[in-house]
Chains A and B, each alone.
Chain A
Amino acid sequence: MVLEKFILAAITTNPAKIPSGTAVFHCEDKKEMEIIAANLEAILDGIAHALTEELYVIVKH
């Protein structure tokens, strides 16, 4: 089976909102979250999507 879209990682500043079943990166603030998201985007070949102000996901398309 080929998955067309898949969440590779989640980056969040709000520990209460963490999703389960995927790699989660906790961050202190928004700035750190953006840096980690940018790096993960490049490393994982995915796109960083903003779900809310405090939760980003990296999705492979």
Chain B
Amino acid sequence: MSEYTYPILFGLAAGTLTRIYMLRTDYRQYPTYLHGKIIHVALGFIAAGLGTVAIPSIMEEEFTAITFLTLAASQFREVRNMERNTLTELDSYEMVPRGKTYIEGVAIAFESRNYLVIFTSLLSTLGYLLFNIWGGLAAAILAVLISKKLMSGGRLKEIVEVEFVEPRFDGAGLYVDNIYIMNIGLPERQEEVLRYGMGFILKPKNFNARSTIANLGQRQAILHDVSTALGVYRDSGTPALVPLAKRDLDDGRVGVFVLPQEKNINKAIKIIEAVPTLENAIRMPTERQTNGKGS
């Protein structure tokens, strides 16, 4: 056993445990038990290994050994591809699809979490080698805290106000507040829609939020999350019963129409508020310097 055995084992354990901690199965039911998890824990273990041996190789003045970290980059980009392909394939069989933007967000999260594992392992091994096992432990805890901060994105409640509105019909047109959703011709279908449907108005808190919730991927994510959490009154062959989100062109409000199986207003509002703001949907038009030097 060399002087590096324990620090490397420690870094490996810290990294793998971080990956397991970040691999929570939540309402999105992804990844599912058990094989999906094994894949990610195994990849997390590999990432931990890559991160942890970087410090000993620097100490041994084997600088070229660092280049294998580039291997990690291509390896984990492959993880992103894998997740994207799997989810896209499965999406066509979902009652209410996730949408491409949501899938891309999940895929990015999987890739970046492996880099966080590398970072945690690297820091833990460094702490162990510079000080002692307690130093390593402190570094590991610090890295986990930073990872936790980095991996949690924004929620919709930070950018919009959600309000419940009973959907209504004006002729054959279905409306949520004053926002036109769709045309439903058959009276019996209209009754069904009114009985099971719920309408919500998302009012953007600022100009940036207005562009973000206008994103079709973000809107699909809202519909998917509500339908996953509260069930959906829909089947194949009933295209008229479809949750939709449409936009008021005048003020940027978004009208969300959903058909949940559990009609609980407070719960539904909480779910919409907790929908992640997809990082690919975020727009910041106010960050643009219209009066900058270039213009």
Task: Report which A residues bind B (CB closer than 8 A).
Answer: 34, 37-38, 41-42, 45-50, 56, 60-61
Residue of A nearest to B239 (CB): A47
Given contacts A49-B172, A50-B171, A50-B172, contact A42 B185 (CB under 8 A): no
Q: Are A47 and B237 in contact, CB atoms less than 8 angstroms apart?
A: no
Closest-CB distance, B62 to chain A (whole angstroms): 55
- B interface residue numbers (CB < 8 A to A): 171-172, 182-189, 237, 239-240
* CB nearest to B190 among chain A residues: A50
Contact of A49 (CB < 8 Å), options: B184, B188, B237: B184
The chain A residue with its CB closest to the CB of B172 is A50
Partner of B185, one of A45, A48, A60, A61: A48
B187 partner, pick from A34, A46, A47, A49, beta carbons under 8 A? A34
Apart from A34-B186, A49-B183, 12 more pairs, CB < 8 Å: A37-B186, A38-B186, A38-B189, A41-B189, A45-B237, A47-B183, A47-B184, A47-B185, A48-B184, A48-B186, A50-B183, A60-B239
Task: Report yes or no: B185 in contact with A37, Cβ–Cβ below 8 A.
Answer: yes
- A38 contacts B188, C-beta separation under 8 Å: yes
**Chain A residues within 8 Å of B182, by CB:** 47
